[in-house]
Amino acid sequence: MIKRPLESGANPHIPIMVKEVIQHLQISKNGTYIDCTIGYGGHARHILERLSSNGKLIGIDKDEEAIKFCKKSLSTYNNVQLFHKSYHKIKDILSISKTQKVDGMLLDLGLSSAQLDSKSRGFSYKIDSKLDMRFDLNQKFKAEDLLNIKSKKELADIIFKYSDERRSRAIADNIFKMRPIKNVFTLVEAIRKSTPPKNRNKTLARVFQAIRIAVNNELKILENFLLEFCNQLTFGGRIVFISFHSLEDRIVKHALRNLSLKKKIKILTKKPIYPSHEENRSNRRSRSAKLRAAEKIL
């Protein structure tokens, strides 16, 4: 999802694997569906196009900017409900929307390009800004706080746990020495001092990923959702996950396997589905995506 000056109605996001998402959701025109991370409405619009006026889409996002965008861009649809909340609060959201169960869910765990390309959010190591990295700007704890408050050991553990970065201790040591770290390029310099030039961009991406995951408590939120989502699906209802790194995908895979063993769901994707070569060429940010899907059978 790319943040740039928007023309009226322009969408700053290229949705990933649209064909595969729609295929696995098997949308019923009168059904109710949830886009758990609606972002800038890329997938949502394709779902809405397949719904009748009796169908409904519920869109959720922690990023208030995304919700505000969707309120305008999807305003021509009268069967959309939008919630500025975290997707793991799905039970509460359905209660508020007076919906008992839904026929399908989509959980796209990727960062939006609007977030990545923002000049103020601090998600990308390529753009200097304050170290924010919050999905929900109402949250008080920022990346800057994490980098300047945590102990050297805690920083090293966070970087290693959420990125498998072998040089996590050296990076944490330089972060500690260069405190206070308040902007992106100072953090980049700490990482540069700790790593050889070869594959440094991959290291930068991994470290920024680790810090972002910790700031937003992403994996715990995902785990909480995986404990709850099945209770909110109708019999035969489907769920589609799109993940972008191995930590997320591993959590999703194991949760689906456990639910399958309990005969609660049928896994529809024995192996993850990847974007086509054509999509990878046209949208470089799709390259790490993996799609998994399941159907409720109990």
* Closest by CA position to 128, among listed 185, 181, 189, 202: 185
Q: What is the pLDDT of residue 6?
A: 38
Q: What is the pLDDT of residue 209?
A: 96
> What's the pTM value of the predicted model, to 2 decimals?
0.93
Contacts 24+ apart (CB under 8 A), 265-271: 265/230, 265/294, 265/295, 265/296, 265/297, 265/298, 266/294, 266/295, 266/297, 267/292, 267/293, 267/294, 268/24, 268/238, 268/293, 268/294, 268/295, 269/24, 269/293, 269/294
Contact of 1 with 116, CB cutoff 8 Å: yes
Q: What is the pLDDT of residue 232?
A: 97
Q: What is the pLDDT of residue 10?
A: 52
φ/ψ bin of 285: left (φ > 0), alpha (ψ from -120 to 50), beta (otherwise): alpha
Structural domains of the chain, with CATH: 18-114+219-296 (3.40.50.150), 120-216 (1.10.150.170)
Contact of 22 with 134, CB cutoff 8 Å: no
Q: What is the pLDDT of residue 12?
A: 59
Q: What is the pLDDT of residue 11?
A: 57
Q: What is the pLDDT of residue 19?
A: 97
Return per-residue pLDDT of the chain as tens, 298 residues. Answer: 333 333 334 555 689 999 999 999 999 999 999 999 999 999 999 999 999 999 999 999 999 999 999 999 999 999 999 999 999 999 999 999 999 999 999 999 988 888 988 999 999 999 999 999 999 999 999 999 999 999 999 999 999 999 999 999 999 999 999 999 999 999 999 999 999 999 899 999 999 999 999 999 999 999 999 999 999 999 999 999 999 999 999 999 999 999 999 999 999 999 999 999 999 999 888 889 999 999 999 8
Contact of 70 with 82, CB cutoff 8 Å: yes
* CA distances in angstroms from 295 to 124, 186, 220, 256, 263, listed in the order given: 35, 46, 23, 10, 11
Q: What is d(CA 10, CA 101) in angstroms, rounded to the nearest whole number? A: 32
